[in-house]
């Protein structure tokens, strides 16, 4: 998919565990724009012990949403960096109507827009199994699954060699709250982008490579002789 204007962004929407992070790393590379994941940025703040990280910690660990003003400020700062001049693939943001409106205003100021929103659709019972078996890299935040996407060496990231750990918010009782919060606050955004005619739906309940192929098709990313178009 060719991005034309300054600041065009592509959204990856989906429930916790839908596979957004797994797919976004590859898709962003194909699109030639950075992968900006609000959850990854918040976890980086926590590791650094910043004011934002400390404020977010308890909220994240119980599976609730960090207040809109804090998350919006964090994302707009990230989008203002030079590597995001052409746009970004946003994963996990926006998650509320207020966040979606803040994003639209900021893009409009700079002649940009949300170019496409892709919704990765996965049934709730599958989400719980995925998150219970997830292992995440402490360094680069790549995710693996003990059964569906195992690392070559136990507890070691294939990409950067970092240590793999299980997220505190992947405990079953927290996952249940995250899914409920998602259904209440974030799922309505799917309708917002549907009514604008920019929503593409992809069945995320298939093997990782199959979902990836559908996402590429949804974004018009075709492959020629092994190279992205
Ligand atoms: P965040 O980190 O964004 O978590 P999330 O949206 O809940 O998403 P996940 O990272 O859990 O899932 P994913 O879809 O990326 O799945 P993955 O690819 O890893 O947010 C964490 C917290 O931060 C929130 O709860 C909130 O507190 C806060 N926050 C973040 N953004 C915010 C915002 N905008 N506003 C307010 N608060 C915010 O895959 C999951 C597992 O499944 C992995 O093990 C993977 O290997 C496996 N898998 C992936 N695809 C497949 C497949 N097709 N088949 C089988 N297994 C698969």
Partners of 113 in the β-ladder = 8
Q: Provide the pLDDT for residue 143.
A: 94
pTM beyond 0.85: the answer is: yes
Contact of 169 with 228, CB cutoff 8 Å: no
Q: How far is the CA of 106 from the centre of ligand 1 (A)?
A: 25
Can you give the three-state secondary structure of the chain, one letter per residue? CCCCCCCEEEEEEECCCCCHHHHHHHHHHHHCCCEEEHHHHHHHHHHHCCHHHHHHHHHHHCCCCCCHHHHHHHHHHHHCCHHHCCEEEEECCCCCHHHHHHHHHHHHHCCCEEEEEEEEECCHHHHHHHHHCEEEECCCCCEEECCCECCCECCECCCCCCEEECCHHHCHHHHHHHHHHHHHHHHHHHHHHHHCCCEEEEECCCCHHHHHHHHHHHCCCCEECCEEC
Mean pLDDT by 10 residues, the chain (229 residues): 74 97 94 96 97 97 97 96 94 98 94 95 93 94 94 96 95 93 96 97 97 96 52
Q: Provide the pLDDT for residue 208.
A: 96
User: Which residues are near ligand 1 (CB < 6 Å)?
Assistant: 14, 16-22, 38-39, 42, 59-60, 63-66, 71, 92-93, 95, 99, 130-131, 133-134, 143-145, 148-149, 169, 178, 204, 207-208, 211
Q: Provide the pLDDT for residue 225.
A: 37
Strand pairing of 164-165 and 134-137? antiparallel
Nearest CA to ligand 1 atom 41: 130
Cβ neighbours around 29 below 10 Å, total: 13
Q: Torsions phi, psi of 145, nearest 5?
A: -135, 135
134 noted as active-site residue: yes
Q: Provide the pLDDT for residue 209.
A: 96
- Residue owning tokens 């599958």: 126
192 noted as active-site residue: no
Q: Provide the pLDDT for residue 226.
A: 44
Strand pairing of 223-224 and 227-228? antiparallel
Q: Torsions phi, psi of 123, nearest 5?
A: -65, 150
- Short-list 225, 221, 213, CA closest to 3: 221
Q: How far is the CA of 1 from the centre of ligand 1 (A)?
A: 24
- Candidates 11, 13, 17, 180: which one to mutate for ligand 1, based on the most atoms within 8 Å of Cβ? 17
Instruction: Please report the atom of ligand 1 found closest to the CA of residue 145.
Output: 44
Q: Provide the pLDDT for residue 228.
A: 44
- Residue owning tokens 């018009």: 220
Which of the following is catalytic: 78, 115, 167, 200?
Answer: 167
């Amino acid at each position: 998919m060719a991005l034309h204007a300054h600041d065009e962004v592509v959204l990856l929407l989906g429930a916790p565990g839908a596979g957004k992070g797994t797919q976004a790393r590859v898709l962003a590379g194909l699109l030639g724009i950075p992968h900006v994941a609000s959850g990854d940025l918040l976890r980086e703040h926590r590791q650094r012990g910043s004011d934002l990280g400390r404020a977010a910690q308890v909220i994240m660990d119980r599976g609730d949403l960090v207040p809109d003003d804090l998350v919006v400020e964090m994302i707009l700062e990230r989008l203002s960096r030079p590597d995001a001049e052409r746009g970004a693939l946003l994963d996990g943001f926006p998650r509320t109507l207020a966040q979606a409106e803040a994003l639209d205003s900021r893009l409009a100021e700079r002649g940009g827009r949300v170019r496409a929103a892709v919704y990765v659709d996965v049934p709730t019972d599958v989400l719980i199994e995925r998150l219970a078996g997830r292992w995440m890299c402490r360094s680069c935040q790549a995710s693996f699954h003990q059964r569906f996407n195992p690392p070559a060496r136990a507890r070691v990231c294939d990409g950067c060699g970092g240590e793999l750990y299980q997220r505190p918010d992947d405990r079953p009782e927290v996952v249940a709250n995250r899914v409920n919060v998602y259904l209440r606050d974030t799922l309505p955004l799917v309708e917002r982008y549907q009514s604008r005619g920019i929503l593409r739906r992809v069945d995320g309940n298939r093997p990782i490579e199959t979902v990836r192929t559908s996402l590429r098709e949804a974004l018009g990313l075709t492959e020629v002789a092994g190279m992205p178009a």
